[in-house]
Amino acid sequence: MLNNFKYSSDNKRYHTLNYFYRNKFGSKIFKVSLNAGLSCPNIDGTVGTGGCIYCSKSGSGEYGGNKKESLTNQFNTVKEMLHKKWPTAKYIGYFQARTNTYAPLEKLKKMYEEILNLENVVGLNIATRSDAITNECLDYLEELSKKTYLTIELGLQTIHEKTSILINRCNSLENFTNMVKELRQRNINIVVHIINGLPYESKEEMIETVKYLNKLDIQGIKIHMLSILKNTKLAKMYHQEKFPILTKEEYIDIVINQLENLRPEIVINRITGDPKISDLIEPFWLTKKWEVLDDIDKEMSLRKTYQGKALE
């Protein structure tokens, strides 16, 4: 195997989450997706209404639990399945659906600590927006980060204002950048979500988003491919305009270019989308997740490239 990438123990030429967890915790780690039943400031009118145009009814929590059940029950349902195959695994509670700092602080404390008190939970990942973290919440998150392995996942999607307006993100790049600084001043880990294939963005613009993020003090990134899901505003827009959708080959090419422009120590938490087939309108190649991952590996090998190569 010809692969000298520093953060890899297999054929991967980028810094995978599995590699990171194995080296940090010394065991198999699973993220358990949870649905706390919260809303979003871009839905209830605080900053906007209707949400981002690609957002499903589940608020990007397709694989989260049933919000009608307690968080403990949601967690145990998943844990019971995983425990049969990996009895020594440890877990990270992942507050995934909608905006998981968007509630009174006492409610947030109860949510987070309910999961942290469960056996073999070593940390929390909290998905949110940069405009939905109060100063009071920041202070609490700083305390929490000293007790457990805490990661805040911030949805950015794109740095480009025209696209941000088009997708109704209702949040500025300045606000996002300032929150990254606020979190890092408190030594809180950050993972940023971006989406490739947003309507009318060019390959160069998608790479520019990653180049911008590479200059910030972030610890991880999630790279998604745009999913056009049923019953979303994006679906209506697609049926009306038939805007171009990236082919699998185009997506792989863009992702590799993005990886080449990311510091090697940044952990790649996700590198493709994982939509529910029953909700998916396009692109259908996303339903073959492992094929996409394998093709990324093969193409990186053919190009003799790896994460961070463009920065050398």
Q: What is the total count of domains within the chain? A: 1
Of 140, 139, 154, 135, nearest in space to 108 by CA: 140
How many other CB atoms sit within 10 Å of the CB of residue 302? 8
- Give DSSP secondary structure letters for 135-163: HHHHHHHHHHHTTSEEEEEEEEE-S-HHH
Reference 171, options 202, 130, 124; nearest CA is 130
Task: Give the per-residue pLDDT at 141.
Answer: 98
* 11 assigned to some structural domain: no
Confidence of residue 2 (pLDDT cuts 50, 70, 90): very low
- pLDDT at position 210 is 98
Query: What per-residue confidence (pLDDT) applies to 303?
Result: 96
pLDDT, tens digit (0-9, with 9 covering 90-100), for 67-91:
889 999 999 998 888 888 888 899 9
Note the pLDDT of residue 1. 37
**By three-state DSSP, how is residue 218 classified?**
coil
Closest CA to 159 of 149, 180, 174, 145: 174
Residue 139 covered by a domain = yes
CB atoms within 10 A of CB 179: 21
Q: Which domain holds residue 126?
A: 17-307
Give the per-residue pLDDT at 125: 98
Confidence label for 273 from pLDDT (cuts 50, 70 and 90): confident
User: In whole numbers, what is the pLDDT of the chain averaged over residues?
Assistant: 94
Length of the chain: 312
DSSP H helices in the chain: 17-25, 71-85, 105-116, 135-145, 161-166, 173-185, 203-214, 233-241, 248-260, 289-303
Query: So what's the pLDDT on residue 3?
Result: 61
pLDDT tens column, 169-216: 999 999 999 999 999 999 999 999 999 999 999 999 999 999 999 999
Predicted TM-score (pTM) of the model is 0.95
Is 276 inside any structural domain?
yes
CB 181 within 8 A of CB 188: no
Phi and psi (nearest 5°) for 47? -120, -20
Q: Name the 3-class secondary structure at 234.
A: helix
pLDDT-based confidence at 62, cuts 50/70/90? Answer: low
Residue matched to tokens 């030429």: 13
Confidence bin at 139 (pLDDT 50/70/90): very high
Q: Which of 51-55, 100-104, 271-275 has the highest mean pLDDT?
A: 100-104
Does 58 have pLDDT greater than 90?
no
Closest CA to 137 of 111, 117, 158, 116: 111
- Residue 286 dihedral angles phi and psi, to the nearest 5°: -65, -20
pLDDT at 60 over 60: no
| Residue 286's CATH number | 3.20.20.70
- Angstrom distances, CA of residue 206 to CA of 194, 201, 267: 9, 7, 18
CA–CA separation, 131 vs 260, rounded Å? Answer: 30
In a domain, 142, yes or no: yes
The structure tokens listed for 229 are: 């899901």
Distance of CA 26 to the CA centre of its chain: 23
Q: Is 104 part of any domain? A: yes
**Does residue 1 fall inside a structural domain?**
no
Residue 252 lies in a domain: yes
pLDDT tens string 179-190: 999 999 999 999
Domain membership flag for residue 111: yes
CA distance linking residue 204 with residue 210, whole number of Å: 10
